[in-house]
Structure 1
Amino acid sequence: MEIRKAVVPVAGLGTRFLPATKAIPKEMLTIVDRPTIQYIVEEIVASGIKEVVLVTASGKSAIENHFDYSFELETFLSQKGKLNLLREVRHISQLIDVVSVRQKEPLGLGHAVMVTETVIGNDPFLVVLGDDLVDSDVPCAYQMLQVFRKFQESVVAVQRVPHDEIYRYGIVEGVEVEKGIFKVSRLIEKPSPGTTKSNLAIIGRYVLRPEIFGCLKRTSPGVGGEIQLTDALDSLRRERALYAYEFKGKRFDAGDKFGYLQATVNFALDHPELGAKFAEYLKQVVERL
């Protein structure tokens, strides 16, 4: 079974970034010179997938427009001889084939995945959250696809977090079957302190078999009154094997103000044109502290 489609939920209101996100989708906030969503899509494309299903909501048309062809802009750049910018704009519009599905109510990540069933069909698929960035030599999504190809079962990406922060995440318990790969025995959404010894936190990358749709339909609203994908995955692992993969790379929660700043610094330092100059600036800032 091969993965040909990726689902990117982008329907959230972005309340953690208000007032900036009052009129701009949080996924369109810029990190250096690209919106967050472009980093996500480029990771998906680098992993060999070009068909992307965006789960959108009202006010999110800017995301779809970003990946669409813009005749007026391309004509303007061509006439002005701004060929480097023209190539960049064309690159964006040619990255992916976009399909949009509307999530009419904010009923949680599980619900966002569930509304894509008619588009996904009976195939396995990738899910990448629109504000979860991973900087790695090998794309995180590609790493996960390799695990899926080996086991042919659903895979969730995990990272170790401090024990006093596990209440913020879905947590995985399981047995390590290979280095960095765990067969999952239990999943808990945002556990209370002391209820689990595990600190393997689920981050925004999933490879899911189509059986997840049936589990989602049977899942009652959980934490926050929402349909939690973690709860549906816990049902899925009772029916068939589920694996967790401790990916290689640095993860940034770009939907959080501090995580967004961390991502900006990280990607600015890696920027081919700005990196050296920005590093020198940071040295000057540190010296003044």
Structure 2
Amino acid sequence: MTRRVRTAVFPVAGLGTRFLPATKAMPKEMLTVVDRPVIQYAVDEAREAGIEHFVFVTGRNKGVIEDHFDRQFELETTLETRGKHEALEQLRRDLPKAGQTSFTRQQEPLGLGHAVWCARDIVGREPFALLLPDMIFKSEPGVLKQMMDAYEQTGGNVIAVEEVDPSEVSSYGVVARGKGDDKSFEITGMVEKPKPADAPSNLIISGRYILQPEIFALLSEQTAGAGGEIQITDAMQQLMDMQSFTGVKYDGRSFDCGSKIGFLTANVVFALDRSDIAEAFMAELRELTGEIPISIEE
């Protein structure tokens, strides 16, 4: 019987050096795409997929993330007094219920694998989702929900993948595919940042995972890999010898908000999807570019 996935882990301890000086005092996960923090998009995606427990692996100067997912009574009172009921209801909808959030510290920047390992006692002996908040998606349904649907059929471990130009694979973790169809297939291997000539495919790992708890024991024995960090890919390769891995080529578009171009592109795309600002924003784009860059779908 496939065990239900109830918990999601969000590694949010990174320093965000690519966005300095903006991230000197503000966590990169709190940078906004339109008017919602990047971390909120990941949490919304997890909630849509049925996640009940949200585990944040934080570091120093990340307390504002914890505050974001807590009630602010003075703000709520002010909104109520001023009659801003729509904004107040939005805040309440975004807020996890009491007891649904946990926070643990990654005291040293030892890599993604180490960050996941730091959540081991909170997750326990259950399968869990892992969402890298830098990656947000424009998809319907959400990417994790698409993965959950596949997980109900396959069990084991599930990884979201997408195609890139073969020349770009050296920047990503890349999977080798086995049996299956174009949307869901067996993963037979993976490699971190291969040279294009050595890559097993052009299918890259997209920052969304469903993993079995046996990964924690492997991470506890893991030594530093690429970049001098403990890599989750290395532990997954070991786990692949014991359990199945399924790749889900999701429907949708990804935005790497850890890069300036990805972050700016996400702001444009999500702004044009907002009925309250799309028309005015499009007018500004036309004036800036001198042409119509894209059309708004009704």
Q: What CA deviation, in whole Å up to 9, does each residue of 1:65-106 have, x standing for no partner?
A: 011011111111112222222212222224672100111111
Q: Runs of 5+ in structure 2 lacking a partner?
A: 293-298
SS of structure 2 residue aligned to 1:235: helix
1:209 maps onto 2:230 in alignment: no
- Quote the residue 2:131 is aligned against: 128
Query: Does residue 3 of structure 1 match 2:5?
Result: yes
Contact kept? 2:175, 2:200, Cα under 8 Å: no
Q: Matches of residues 78-89 of structure 1 in structure 2 within 5 Å? A: 78-89=80-91
Q: Provide the residue aligned with 2:256 in structure 1.
A: 253
Map residues 1-289 of structure 1 onto 2, 5 A cutoff.
Answer: 1-94=3-96, 97-287=100-290
In the TM superposition, residue 168 of structure 1 has moved relative to its aligned partner by: 0.6
RMSD of aligned C-alpha atoms?
1.5
Question: 1:239 aligns to what SS in structure 2?
Answer: coil
The alpha carbon displacement at 1:48 in A equals 1.2
Shift of 1:177: 1.1
Q: CA deviation at 1:197?
A: 4.0
Cα shift readout 1:176-223 (whole Å, capped 9, x = no counterpart): 413322211111011123112411100110000111112212322111
Tell me the distance in 2 between the aligned counterparts of 1:281 and 1:53.
39
The answer to whether the 8 Å contact 1:67/1:95 transfers is no
SS at match of 1:55: strand
CA displacement 1:241-286 (0-9 Å, x = unmatched): 1111111100000111000011001100001201122223223333
Give the TM-score taking structure 2 as reference length: 0.93
The amino acid of 2:65's aligned partner reads I
Question: Which residues of structure 1 form unaligned runs of 5+?
Answer: none
Contact 1:53 1:98 in 2 (8 A): yes
Matched position secondary structure for 2:233: helix
Query: When the two structures are superposed, what TM-score results if normalisation uses the length of structure 1?
Result: 0.96
List structure 1 segments (4+ residues) > 3 angstroms apart after TM superposition: none
Structure 2 counterpart SS, 1:8: strand
Aligned partners of 1:25 and 1:59 also within 8 Å = yes
1:211-238 per-position Cα deviation (integer Å, ceiling 9, x unaligned): 1112212322111110101111111111
